[in-house]
Structure 1
Amino acid sequence: MRRRNLLANLAVTAAAVASSRLPASGAEPGEATLGEALVAGLRDAMLGLGGASTALSPEQAPAELARALSDFHACRYGSLTVRLPRLIRAGHALGAGTNQYATLAQTYVLATWMLVKLDEQHLGWVAAGRARRLAEAGGDVLTVAEAARNLAVLARKAGWGERAMSIALAAADDPGLREAGRAGAAERGLLIQSAAYTAARGGDRQGMRQLTAEAGAIAAELGGTPLLRDHGGGINPITVQLHLISAENSASDPAAALAAARAIAPQSLPSVKRRSRYYTDVAAALGQLGRRDDCIRALLTAEHHAPEATHTRPAVRSLVSGLLASGRTTSELRGLAARSGVLT
């Protein structure tokens, strides 16, 4: 009975977090407003609003999820604006069943990633909670752990550093992951890596570097091919090093972030998403160091690789706004700001 009722019970929990500032979904957005359109679509799908969508059979849903994950790795936000809300509606329409729970849980994990990137924490909490409950109902230990990782990220963004650390490390110690072979080890590495970033945000540079080294040791033992690629991009030694750039930036050590970046050949990164993150993290470090021209060049390179992500992510738009306000502007900066919706 609990499984049969789960999907219906979940549908009412997002009502309190629907945001009145979001546009109605269904419009054709420009790149600068893709984030608002995506959040609006997810909001309405999670609330059971928005009209009928194309039905998916139980056999079609996993393939559609695979396409959405491909869009995520390629930073095709426009495609996700259509595909991801449709997957949520279709998943709820399919009803109970272990396979349906697994696919919908993974869909909610992907929705949480996007909501975190777009700084929509309220809906992110709802999506992460649904992902965990659905994964638990389906007995999917890896997705349960990935949902916990998302909850840890949300707790960190809410300023609850100790709780974020506890969520990530408790999930990493779950015996189920130790019984899940190489995939379980990879998920443990991702959770430890998340804890490292939390340590950085709390100003604990030594703890951050120790935890990053632990995640790196796991990645090195697993080999060079990224494992669990569909868990936010997965883990291998290069992705751990990429994560270190962000962590050093967060620990307010931009020189160390640039040193970490120099250890990576950007062309070796396994996806458009990863290359975009590399250049935006490098831009953030350069901005902290006052190297405006180099910062702008890094942002333009990120835009070249992933225009929709660069124009949409609040963190990047904030960096562009800061550059506009803090010094000399150039035609390149003004153009990037206009394309990002910072200048209208």
Structure 2
Amino acid sequence: MRQAHRLTLAELGKRTGYSAAQVSRYERGISPMTDVAVLRIFAEVLGIPHQAFGLAPPQPKVRHGQATVPTTAYLRLPAHRVGRTQREDGEDPVRRRDVLANLVVTAAAAAGSRLLGGGTAQADEALLGEVLVAGLRDAMLGLGSTPGDQPPPEQLPAELSRALADFHGCRYGSLAVRLPRLIRAGHAVSISDGATGHYALLAQSYVLATRMLVKMDEQQLGWMAADRARQLAEAGGNVLTVAEAARQLAVLARKAGWNDQAMSIALAAADDPALRGAGQAGAAERGLLIQSAAYTVARGGDRKGMRQLTAEAAAIATDLGGTTLLRDHGGGFSPVTVQLHLISAENSAGDPAAALSTAHAIAPQSLPSVERRSRYYTDVATAFGQLGRRDECVRALLTAEHHAPEETHARPAVKSLVSGLLVSGRTTPELRGLAARSGVLA
């Protein structure tokens, strides 16, 4: 069956969590395959019916009262072949090009004109979210592309690194130009070389796009980006990116109110044998998936289950030695990022006092990126808001703005919090100023 799947001993070993030598010993009968757990692992990975080994059909795993079912691996995503589209009835193509050009100029201006050069114009950062979403939408649909806009293939890994740095630094004006261009270029390379060599890079680009679309509360585009990320990662054989795409799908399912499905996606991905065989990085990704499940449980009001799952993630982080791993996949995984996630989960479970208690135990400067520090102060503001401590809520939002102005001004969640403060009580010049900068007040 291994040979039928065209797997090497090492590849099968990676998927099952065994060394190539041990797989060879099983194949040659040197090591007996009498352990039921071992048989089930190889049956699942190779697609062998359990009955062929004399085993009963596998029962769904149950964790925290939730049955987890592995998600189906879909067929490989065809190459992106959308080229120049025909004009829709009533659409002015000249006007459309002008609008797209203005969006790019706006984004570049918000980035301090680093990409297009010159000038000191400041764009309205409150519109950055719309600019970024529009750019990603058109790139994903194959619209607005010209060959001169795309970096050459050899520069794509460096461009991905820069896009990730923009995300972690909350430089969304720059990201609004760079990430759509990277997606277009990744597809163009996949078409031109007819191979899957760039699937991993394109999958990571789509994962980043999904994370940004989740921030901007754009669920429809988020589903599209996450599904493409997963299929491309599977086609490229990238275990970590497959798992991270599954995590983003779980986040989107949770946002849609499908908590049971979100739990199943996250926990089944965490228990994937291939991920368990991916070393420290695989363990860190498992921790991120379990964190996601904890947040989903919190949304359902199960505080005990949320804290149990968080403790499980924290134990993984401790076993990894406290080092921050997976900055590019999940914004970093370490004991302190587990605690950061717990703040959000406590807020979601309806216990803002516990959220603040958790926040007080974290030194914000120990968080691995500007984006994570901004998340910290926004979560603290949310807790203060739930407790009716308006002045402290505003101060936390202003601190978030100090660290990451583009993030604070562009995120719908922050706009909603600011809007609620405006209509629920007295206002201050500081609050009105933040509202104006966030586009809540015209």
How far apart, CA to CA, are the structure 2 residues paired with 1:117 and 1:135? 22
What code does the residue aligned with 1:47 have?
L
* 3-state SS, counterpart of residue 99 of structure 1: coil
Instruction: Number of aligned residue pairs: give it.
Output: 332
- The residue correspondences of 1:51-70 to structure 2 (distance < 5 A) are 51-52=145-146, 53-70=148-165
Conserved 8 A contact 1:11-1:46 = no
Matches of 1:260 and 1:200, distance apart in 2: 15
Match of residue 17 from structure 1: none
Residue 82, structure 1, aligned to residue 177, structure 2: yes
Deviations 1:156-184 (A, max 9, x none): 00000000000000000110011111111
**1: CA distance between counterparts of 2:275 and 2:131?**
36
Report the Cα distance in structure 1 between the residues aligned to 2:430 and 2:195, rounded to whole angstroms: 52
Counterpart CA distance in 1 for 2:326 and 2:82 is 27
Contact 2:254 2:296 in 1 (8 A): yes
Query: Residues 239-295 of structure 1, C-alpha deviation per residue, up to 9 Å, x if partnerless?
Result: 000000000000010000000001101111111011100000000000000000000
Does the 8 Å CA contact 1:24/1:40 hold for their aligned counterparts? no
Indicate the SS of the match to 2:250. helix
2:254 maps to what in 1? 156
One-letter amino acid of the structure 1 residue matched with residue 347 of structure 2: N
Deviates more, 1:206-215 or 1:216-225: 216-225
Q: Which residue of 1 aligns with 2:422?
A: 324
Residue in 1 that maps onto 2:143 = 49
Please list, as runs of the form range in 1=range in 2, the aligned pairs for 1:1-344 lying within 5 A after superposition.
6-8=78-80, 24-26=99-101, 27=103, 28=106, 29-52=123-146, 53-95=148-190, 96-344=194-442
Say whether the 8 Å CA contact 2:83–2:143 is kept in structure 1. Answer: no
Q: What is the CA-CA distance between 1:234 and the residue it aligns to?
A: 1.9
Quick one: which amino acid aligns to residue 341 of structure 2?
A: H
SS at match of 1:8: coil
What is the identity, as a one-letter code, of the residue corresponding to 2:124? G
Structure 1 SS opposite 2:150: coil
Query: TM-score, normalised on structure 2?
Result: 0.73
Instruction: Give the corresponding residue for 2:95.
Output: none
Structure 1 residue aligned with 2:43: none
| Local SS of the residue matching 1:296 | helix
Query: How far apart in 2 are the matches of 1:189 and 1:54?
Result: 38
Judge conservation of contact 1:131–1:144 (CA < 8 Å) in 2. yes
- Structure 1 residue 9 displacement after superposition: 6.4
TM-score (norm 1): 0.94
Structure 1 equivalent of residue 38 of structure 2: none
Specify every segment of 5 or more residues in structure 1 that has no aligned partner in the other structure, as ranges: 13-22
SS of corresponding position for 1:252: coil
Rg (Cα) greater in structure:
2
Secondary structure at the residue paired with 2:240? helix
Q: Distance in 1 between matches of 2:211 and 2:100?
A: 20
Q: Distance in 2 between the 1:9 and 1:50 partners?
A: 14
Secondary structure (helix, strand or coil) at the match of 2:79 reads helix
Say whether the 8 Å CA contact 1:149–1:168 is kept in structure 2.
yes
For residue 377 of structure 2, give the secondary structure of its aligned residue in structure 1: helix
Shift of the alpha carbon at 1:309?
Answer: 0.2
1:231 partner SS: helix
Q: Is the 8 A contact 1:10 1:130 kept in 2?
A: no
Give 2:156's aligned amino acid: A
The offset of 1:11, in angstroms, is 8.8
1:18 alignment partner in structure 2: none
Is this contact kept in 2: 1:199–1:207, CA < 8 A? yes
Distance in 2 separating the partners of 1:11 and 1:131 = 20
Q: Shift of the alpha carbon at 1:101?
A: 0.3
Q: Secondary structure at the match of 2:322?
A: coil
Q: Distance in 2 between matches of 1:112 and 1:9?
A: 21
Q: Measure the CA separation in 2 of the matches of 1:179 and 1:11.
A: 40
Which residue identity does 2:283 align to in structure 1? A
Task: Work out the percentage of aligned pairs sharing the same amino acid.
Answer: 77
Point out where structure 2 has 5 or more consecutive residues left out of the alignment.
Answer: 1-74, 85-97, 107-122
Residue by residue over 1:182-203, the C-alpha shift from the partner in whole angstroms, topping out at 9 and shown as x without a partner, is 1110110000000000000111
Distance in 2, Cα, partners of 1:25 & 1:213: 47
Greater fraction helix = 1
Q: Which amino acid aligns with 1:60?
A: Q
The alignment yields a C-alpha RMSD, in angstroms, of 1.6
Distance 2:420 2:80 in 1: 44
Letter in 1 for 2:279: G
Segments of 4+ moved more than 6 angstroms: 9-12
State whether residues 32 and 339 of structure 1, in contact with CA within 8 Å, keep that contact through their aligned partners in structure 2: yes
Q: How big is the shift at 1:6?
A: 1.5
CA distance in 1, matches of 2:241, 2:331: 14
Residue identity in the other structure for 1:49: L
Q: Could you say which residue in structure 2 is the equivalent of 1:20? A: none
